Each structure stands twice: as C-alpha cells, then as structure tokens.
Structure 1
Amino acid sequence: MNRKLKIKITIDIIMTILMLLAMAYQLTGNYLHEIIGVTLFVLFFLHNMLNIKWYKAIYKGKYNLRRIISTVVNVLMLSSMILLMITGIMISKDVFAFLEISGGFAVRGLHTFAAAWGLVFMSVHVGMHWQMLINMTTKITGHTDKNIIVTIIMRLIAVGIVVYGIKSFFDLDISSKLFMQTTFSYWNFDESIMGFFLSYISIMGIYIAVTYYLLVLINKFHK
C-alpha cells in the first residue's frame, strides 16, 4: 500500500467518525458540533484534492453502469456536503458568529436534510469501495483462502447489521430528515450513548451492504 493511499484511507475513516459525531448534537453541544463540522469540511476538501484526477477524467473514457452510478453518487455527495457547509455557516452561533448571518428555521431544516443525505451518500460511497477494503484487509492479514464457514458467519453478521439498521432507521425517524419533515424526536443520551452510535453505524451498514451486493450482481450480469 503506497503512502498516498494510506493517507486517503485515514482521511476517509476520520471523516466517517466525525460525521457520526456530528449527528450527536445533543451530546457534543453547539460549539464542539461546529468545530467537528469545520474539521470535517477541511478533511473533505483534502479528500477531493487527493482525488483531483477523478475530476479531470470525468469527461474522458467510456461510461459503464458502475461508472455512471459512481459518478452520480459522488456528485450528489459533493452537493450535499456543500449544502451542509453553507447552511452550517448560516446558522453558526460560535465559529462563524462574526459574520452575523441569520439563518432561521428553514435553513436549519436544510442543514438537517443535507446531513441526512450526506450520511447516506457517504455510506453508498463506502459500499462502492468495500471490495477494495476487503482486498486490502486480506493482503494485510495474509489470509487469502476462502473459508466457507467464515464467509457464512460474515454474511450472517451483515444481515444482522442490516436488520438492526432498519429498526434504527425508524427509531431515529431518519425518513423525516431525508424528506425535510418537521420532527421533534431526539435521542436520550442519558440512557445510552453507545446505542446511538451503534444505531447510526447500523444504518450506514444498510447502504454499504446494499451497494456492495448490488455491484456484485451488476458485475456478474456484465460477465
């Protein structure tokens, strides 16, 4: 694994962790939430700079189904993150308070909307690169043989994550955030902090698993 790839993977992991922390607004409080947000966008900028070749090649070469899906997902993720950044600055109470911009309730709704979709597109993006992560893990660990028992266990774990993710999707009322519906639902952090993060990780697991297995089917179809 070359140095640039290591940096990319490290940035992606940190961004994923920060995205999850950003969802826990009631836990972190506003000031830390904004610091997390600023850090996230700095890393997102670096992520795009490290992948500048992708932008330069966007009009080159042929587009198969996988590349079309990848391009659409990347553009939508970029759009949601930009919207998240703009609305975040507009409703800032601490870091960008000196700008004296009054966002209002509508902008807060857009901010929540962009955050929810940003998490979805980030998860799909991870799912599209999941096979690469599997290959890298296999190379690092040195286990190249395919054990049927291990495969079955891993797939059962994946099913368990998806099932719990579906439950968490409704418990956290994610649909209201995705469709900009007014909601006053919140997580009780006094009961379980770990439960909050496990719920969001499992929701990400839905999109990662669906994307990964969908691409597996697409590859088999093409072959």
Structure 2
Amino acid sequence: MSLQARLLMNLVAGGLLLAALAYDWLGNFAHELIGTAMFGLLVAHNTFNSRWYGSAVRKGGRDLRGWLNIAIIAALAAAMLVLLITSIIISRSLFSALPIASSFGARQLHAQAAYWALVIVAVHVGMRWGMIMTSMRSWLRLGAPNAGRTWVLRIVALSIAAYGVHSWVVVGTGSRLMAEMTMNFWNFEEAVLRFFLHQGAVAGLLICVAHYTTAWLQRLKQLL
C-alpha cells in the first residue's frame, strides 16, 4: 500500500475517533459501529507499520526525540488497549451477549481513555507532520516548498492553534482527561458542527505544539 493510501486510512481513523466522541448525538449503536471500524483501521495501521516496532526495539531511542517517539507510541497503545477492553465491558449492542457485567467505573474510564487517545494521536501526528507534508506535496505535485506558501500555512496553523486554546476550555478537555465530574454537557440539538470544530481545533493545537517542539529538538541536536 502506498504512503498516501496509508495516510488517507489514518485520516479516516482519526475522523472516526473524533466522531465517536459525540456519543450523545450518535446514539449507542452508531457509536459502537464507529468504534469497531476505528479499531479495524488501527489493526491495519499497525500491520503496515510492523517493521517499525522491530527497528525501535533494536535501536532504541538514539536521542531525546527518539525516546519521546517511543514513549508516545507506548502511551497510545495503552490508551487504545484501555478503550478496547472497556468498550467490550460496557457494550450494549455489538458485544452485549458476552457474559461481562458493565459498571459505571468502566464507562468513566472509557470516556477518559477516549480523550487521552485524542490528545496522544494529535501529538503522534504532530511529531510526523514534516513527513506528512512532504508526502502531500509529492502527491499533489506542488514541487519544492516556497516561502510564501510556507508562511500562509504557518499563519493558518497558528490560527487553528489559537482557536484550539479557546476550544480546550469550551469543551472542558482538561476536566475530561482527569475524569473530573463536570456539568459541562454539550447540547447537540443546537450545535453539532461547533462541537466537531472545537474538537478538531484542540487536535490542531496539539499537532502544532508537537510539530514545533519536534522541530526545535531537531535544531538543538544539530547545534550540539
């Protein structure tokens, strides 16, 4: 499978993760279908990238960026594993026939793991943003980067990041990551699109932070 096809598959998986956050809008059955499809794409993603794991084990982290990359992958695997296990435990549709007792604690942990997964996926993408942009330029036949296009993209990215700071507060991402009880319930009857815009902006903020942090670490390595 080509790199562009894999990137498209990963984009769909990320979109499904965002969609699954809107449980109250989707309803339980659609939520479980979307989650199952996302895990199917996740299995495919890991299958296509299986060589990386062997390489990472052999070489380890050559520098701080390498160790951060391994840590993010490990954290993402842990979050997805928690999501998978809790989704089976609390299932009311696809896996409801299994003799497993559901619990409120498992539901809380499932929701918390979902938001952690969103954060870690965004950081994971941000650390690879340069590679993604290079692949997209090749796919769209845009040629070498130029200063004008670069600055336009930077302004767009920083605008999304700035809105992401606002969105982080609006949707209460911090509270959800800590599984804190909150009365901040989103009214999907009034603003479905705005919910996805806010969640996308939060992801964009984290992608920007991860991308520019990675670039800074790369420059620091070259100076040392």
The one-character-per-residue Cα deviations of 1:154-194 (angstroms, maximum 9, x if unpaired) are 22211211111111111111111111112242221222221
Comparing 175-184 with 205-214, greater Cα deviation is found at: 175-184
Structure 1 residue 138 corresponds to structure 2 residue 137: yes
TM-score normalized by the length of structure 1:
0.93
Structure 1 residue 45: deviation in Å? 1.2
Aligned to 1:213: 212
Query: Could you give the per-residue CA deviations for residues 186-223 of structure 1, whole angstroms, max 9, x where no partner exists?
Result: 22122222111111110001110001001111111111
Q: CA deviation at 1:6?
A: 3.4
How far does residue 62 in structure 1 lie from its aligned partner after superposition? 5.1
- Structure 1 CA distance for aligned equivalents of residues 140 and 48 of structure 2: 26
What is the aligned partner in structure 2 of residue 114 from structure 1? 113
Q: Which amino acid aligns with 2:3?
A: L
Q: CA deviation at 1:105?
A: 1.2
Change beyond 3 A, Cα 1:124–1:168: same
Match of residue 196 from structure 2: 197
Question: 1:86-165 maps to which residues of 2 (within 5 A)?
Answer: 86-165=85-164
What SS does structure 1 have at the residue aligned with 2:179?
Answer: coil
Deviation track 1:97-153 (CA, whole Å, cap 9, x = no partner) reads 101322211111100111011001110111111101111122233333443333222
- Could you list the runs of 5+ residues in structure 1 that have no partner in the other structure? none
Which residue of the partner structure matches residue 181 of structure 2?
182
Partner SS state of residue 189, structure 1: coil
Q: Cα RMSD over matched residues?
A: 1.5
Structure 2 distance, partners of 1:137, 1:10, is 11
TM-score by length of 2: 0.93
Which residue is 2:172 aligned to?
A: 173
